Amino acid sequence: MKPGVQDVRADAPDPLFEQLTAYAGRPAATASSGKDPVNAPMIRHWCEAMGDTSPAYRGPGAVAPPTMLQAWTMRGLSPGPEPDDGTGRSPAYDELLRLLDGAGYTSVVATDCEQEYLRPLRPGDLITYDSVIESVSPRKTTKLGTGYFVTTRMNVRANGEPAGTHRFRILKYRPVERPTHRKAPLRPRPVINRDNAGFWAGVAEHRLLIQRCTRCATLRFPWLPGCNACAGQEWDTVEASGEGTVFSHVVMHHPSFPAFDPSGEGGPYAVALVELVEGVRIVGNVVGLPYDKVRVGLPVRLEFQRMDPDLELPVFRASEGG
Ligand code: ZN
């Protein structure tokens, strides 16, 4: 079926598969309608995002790019509180997923989709669709884990006429168990190249170096091969005094990344954009303060922290209690 996918003992009885396959042919969504008719603004935004400049999608007589088929049926990020908001999702699909969750196949990944186009869509077309659970595969083992491929087929109509089909396949799987005793993970290594080697040479000497254009004196950070202000290519450096303030920050809750969590418990951590007194901004960790005490405007001071034998990084210590 797919590279790296194997049947799990095709001859072994699989009562769950018998249960799952009974859902094939049942509706996944019925009598649903697109939130908006096919329209020129969505077509334009899509073409801009995709870099598609075909004249077929512009001006009078324009059609929608066929691959937008699914766009007209999407519920959006805020589907609304009412249970029946016209999207008509059937209980059968939820039931199928619950059955898989209950059997331990709790992870999901979208694997592929296939579309078939039966008629062009034009601005003004009203979209309706229904969706059916087309098939459930026998149990398969992939690199991600063992599970079942579930394929749904959406039939899309425009003004009541068949316009296309959209087949969508997911793998519901039980993740492969990873060995738990592994060496403490290391932070990702910086990519050092000709354009930024000077910065990392500075870090090695505990100096935070900012590039300065020798033509127009504009400071720049991160390091770049040329000046964004005057396009000059010659530069020297200024050493940052180390004083700065938190310009903005985010708190990372998920996904946790072990190398960023010395306690190994996957706790949240703050990532700050620090504005140095010289005027440029740099991303880094704020240390000496709990993540929830980091705030915009917090004064911080540069220091260098050894992360592991091969990596030292500039970090920012809060110079007041928050
Ligand atoms: Zn310049």
Are 6-74+85-175 and 197-318 in the same CATH fold? Answer: no
Residue 48: predicted pLDDT: 96
Residue 212: predicted pLDDT: 97
Ligand 1 centroid to 220 CA: how many Å? 9
Q: Does domain 6-74+85-175 have CATH number 3.40.50.970?
A: no
Range 243-257 average pLDDT: 86
Q: Which among 287, 300, 320 is positioned nearest to 245, based on CA atoms?
A: 300
Q: Which two tokens stand for residue 163?
A: 């316009």
Position 78 confidence tier, pLDDT thresholds 50, 70, 90: low
Ligand 1 centroid to 221 CA: how many Å? 13
Model confidence over 17-60: pLDDT tens digits? Answer: 999 999 999 988 877 889 899 999 999 999 999 999 999 999 88
Ligand 1 centroid to 232 CA: how many Å? 5
Flag whether pLDDT at 77 surpasses 80. Answer: no
The correct CATH number of 197-318 out of 1.20.120.330, 2.40.50.840, 3.40.50.300, 2.60.40.10 is 2.40.50.840
How far is the C-alpha of 203 from the C-alpha of 103, rounded, in Å? 52
Residue 82: predicted pLDDT: 43
Ligand 1 centroid to 240 CA: how many Å? 19
Contact 182, 155 (CB under 8 A): no
Q: What is the DSSP letter of 89?
A: B
Ligand 1 centroid to 212 CA: how many Å? 8
Residue 1: predicted pLDDT: 46
Range 223-234 average pLDDT: 94
Q: Omega of the bond prior to 255 within 30 degrees of 0, cis?
A: yes
Ligand 1 centroid to 111 CA: how many Å? 47
Contact 171, 148 (CB under 8 A): yes
Model confidence over 193-205: pLDDT tens digits? Answer: 999 999 999 999 9
Flag whether pLDDT at 307 surpasses 90. Answer: no
Element (DSSP H or E) covering residue 220: strand 219-220
Residue 265: predicted pLDDT: 55
Range 206-228 average pLDDT: 96
Q: How far is CA 151 from CA 44, 106, 154, 164, 236, in A?
A: 30, 17, 10, 16, 59
Ligand 1 centroid to 238 CA: how many Å? 14
Flag whether pLDDT at 182 surpasses 80. Answer: no
For all residues of the chain together, what is the average pLDDT? Answer: 87
Range 76-86 average pLDDT: 52
Residue 219: predicted pLDDT: 97
Model confidence over 95-122: pLDDT tens digits? Answer: 999 999 999 999 999 999 999 999 999 9
Ligand 1 centroid to 233 CA: how many Å? 8
Q: Where are the domains of the chain?
A: 6-74+85-175, 197-318
Residue 102: predicted pLDDT: 94
How far is the C-alpha of 286 from the C-alpha of 198, rounded, in Å? 24
Q: What letter represents residue 314's amino acid?
A: P
Ligand 1 centroid to 118 CA: how many Å? 55
Q: Omega of the bond prior to 222 within 30 degrees of 0, cis?
A: yes
Residue 26: predicted pLDDT: 92
Model confidence over 119-165: pLDDT tens digits? Answer: 999 999 999 999 999 999 999 999 889 999 999 999 999 999 999 99
Ligand 1 centroid to 217 CA: how many Å? 6
Residue 162: predicted pLDDT: 97
Ligand 1 centroid to 209 CA: how many Å? 17
Ligand 1 centroid to 314 CA: how many Å? 26
Residue 259: predicted pLDDT: 76
Residue 11: predicted pLDDT: 61
Residue 256: predicted pLDDT: 67
